[in-house]
Structure 1
C-alpha cells in the first residue's frame, strides 16, 4: 500500500535522516503536551474565574447576624451629697387626684386638666373660682441630684397638694366641688419652683404636712402617673403651734395637733434625722404678713 511504501522509504535514508525524523517527532510531542496543558488551564480558568497565585482553597463561613438585646435601664442609687440627702418615698395618701385612685366611683386626675400649671394654687380653677383662705405661705422647693454633689435639676415638674384650713382635700368628700391647693410648676435653671399657698391644717392621726410628686418633665407630669418621687413635707412644730393658735382661722387644729407627735407619725416617724430635717421646710416671716418657706428635694439621677 502506498502509505507503507512511504514508511519503508523513510527507514532507508540513513542515520542523519533518522536523527532528523526523531528530532521532529520529539518536538511534535512536546508541542502536543504543551497544548494539552494549556487547554486544561483554560478550562480551569473558565470554571473558577480569577484565582490567587497561591492557589489556596478556603471555604466560606457564614457571619452570624447580631440580634438586639434589651439593656435594662439601671435604677439610680443614691450616694452621699454635700448638703442634701435622698428624700424618702412616702405614700401619696388617699387624696392625690393624680390618676392613681378614684373618687365617687371615677378616676380623679387633675394633672391632665388645663390650668393645673400655676404658681398660686389658692384659687380653684375647674368648676369654681373659690379661693382657699388661711395663713399665706410662699414655698420655694429646690430639686437637686444627690448623685452629683446636690446639683440643681432644671426642667423637672413638681406637683404640690395639701389640705385646706379645715383639714379637707379638694376634689374629694366635702371638698369635692373645689380644686384649690393643687398645682404644678417646672424647675428653673436653679432647680427651683415657687408656690403661693396656705399653711395646712392638722387633722386627726397625722402630723401637719404637704404632699408632692416630682416628674422628669412637664409632659410626664400632665400625662399622669410617671413620678420619679412621691413624698411629703413636715411642717415645723413651733410654727404649727403659732399658726394653730388662731382658732378662728384654723378651727380644731390646735387640739388635734396636741395629740400627735412627729416621732409617732406613721409617715415621718421611721425616717432618719437627716431625712426629717430635709423634709421640714425652713420658715421666715409672720402669720400676719405671711411666711416664706424653702426646702430641698433630693432625688437620685
Structure 2
C-alpha cells in the first residue's frame, strides 16, 4: 500500500487565491475538516488527521460495499463449505440455510496474548524517535523507509494478524490500530542503529477492518546477540490514540519459528544471524522463556518464494497491562551488524 497522501508539488496556496475560502490560515480545512496544523502542508498534518481522512473514505465505500454484499447474499440458496487452517489443523464448516447472512467472528479464546517489553528501539515517541507522527506510516508494505529512499533486504514475509476483542465476546477488534516494527537482516533497528539512523524501514501501522485483521509485507528478521528472532508490535484501541504510546492496550512480540530461522539464515544477506542463532533457544531467551505457544505464528512458504505467517492476537481491554518499561537505547546491534550486547 502506498502512503495515504502523496507529497504535493507545492504548499497550500494562500487562502486569498480561492474565492469564498477562509481568509486566515487557522480557518483552512480539508474535506470539511479543520487542519490540525494550519501553517503546514496537507502532507504534514500528522497520522491522526491522515487516518481520519482514510476512515471517512472507508465508511463511504463500506456503505456501497454493504449494498453489494446484500445483493449477492440474497442470491445464495445453496450450502457452502469453508475450511480454516490454524496451527496445522483444518476445520470444515458447512452452512446449508438459504438466505443466511454471512459474518466473520474470531475463534473463541480465554487467554490473552502475553504482554512483553517494547525494548529499547520502539520508535513510538516513548524514548525519543517517533515514527508514529510521520505522514505515510500507515502502510502495508514496510520494507522501505517512509520516504522511499532506503529498502531493507531479506526474505519476504507476509504477516496477517487477527486482532480479537475478548471483552466483546471474541469479536473482531474492528478499528484497532496495530504498529509493527522489527530488526533488519543484520539485526539493526532503523532510527536507532548507527548505520540506519536516517532510515524508517520495517516500521508501519495498519488499521483493522470489519474482520479484525491487519496485513504487513516485511522481511524475516535477523538474529542478533542474545535474543531469539522476533517482531515487536503495539495495539491501540483506535486511530485517534496511536500518536501517544501510553494509550496502547497491548505490547507484545512474535517469535519466529525455529525451522524457518535455520533455513533463512543460510541466505547470504543474514551474515550475522547463523552464529547468533546458534547461541540462543526459546527456553533461554529473556522474553519467550516463560512461554511462547501463543506467540508463534502459523507459517508456510520457502526462502525462495517468501513466507506467509498468520497469528491470533486476543486482547482483553478490561484488564490492565503489566508491561516492563523499555530499557534505555544504546548498545544493541551495531551499524555494521556487529552484536553489542543482549537487547530485548
Task: Give the alignment's TM-score, normalised by structure 2.
Answer: 0.59
Show the counterpart of 2:197. Answer: 176
Which has the larger share of helix?
1
Show the counterpart of 1:291. Answer: 307
Query: Does residue 99 of the first structure (1) align with residue 125 of the second (2)?
Result: yes
The CA deviation at 1:224 is 4.0
Aligned counterparts of 1:139 and 1:84: Cα–Cα separation in 2: 23
Aligned counterparts of 2:108 and 2:162: Cα–Cα separation in 1: 14
The CA deviation at 1:148 is 4.2
CA contact (8 A) 1:208 1:234 kept: yes
Task: Give 5+ residue unaligned stretches, structure 1.
Answer: 1-80, 102-106
Q: Deviations over 1:126-184 (max 9, x none)?
A: 4x611111000000001002344432110000000000000000000322011000000
Show the counterpart of 1:202. Answer: 223
Show the counterpart of 2:111. Answer: 85
CA contact (8 A) 1:109 1:224 kept: no
Alignment of 1:41-52 (within 5 A): none
CA contact (8 A) 2:156 2:220 kept: yes
Alignment of 1:1-301 (within 5 A): 82-83=108-109, 85-101=111-127, 107-126=128-147, 129-174=149-194, 175-246=196-267, 248-271=268-291, 276-301=292-317
CA contact (8 A) 1:84 1:278 kept: no
The CA deviation at 1:249 is 1.3
The CA deviation at 1:216 is 0.4
The CA deviation at 1:85 is 2.5
Task: Give the alignment's TM-score, normalised by structure 1.
Answer: 0.67
Aligned counterparts of 1:282 and 1:255: Cα–Cα separation in 2: 25
Local SS of the residue matching 1:99: coil
The CA deviation at 1:253 is 0.5
The CA deviation at 1:84 is 6.0
CA contact (8 A) 1:137 1:196 kept: yes
Show the counterpart of 1:60. Answer: none
CA contact (8 A) 2:125 2:244 kept: no
Aligned counterparts of 1:114 and 1:230: Cα–Cα separation in 2: 23
Local SS of the residue matching 2:249: strand
Task: Give 5+ residue unaligned stretches, structure 2.
Answer: 1-106, 318-344
Specify the structure having the higher radius of gyration (Cα). Answer: 1
Aligned counterparts of 1:111 and 1:83: Cα–Cα separation in 2: 30
Q: Deviations over 1:187-222 (max 9, x none)?
A: 011110000000000000000000000000112113
The CA deviation at 1:125 is 1.4
Aligned counterparts of 1:298 and 1:123: Cα–Cα separation in 2: 29
Aligned counterparts of 2:197 and 2:110: Cα–Cα separation in 1: 37
Aligned counterparts of 1:112 and 1:221: Cα–Cα separation in 2: 9
CA contact (8 A) 2:109 2:314 kept: no
Count, aligned residues:
210
Aligned counterparts of 1:87 and 1:110: Cα–Cα separation in 2: 25
Local SS of the residue matching 2:136: coil
Q: Deviations over 1:222-273 (max 9, x none)?
A: 3443111101000001110111112x111020111010010111101113xx
Aligned counterparts of 2:170 and 2:293: Cα–Cα separation in 1: 16
Aligned counterparts of 2:246 and 2:179: Cα–Cα separation in 1: 11
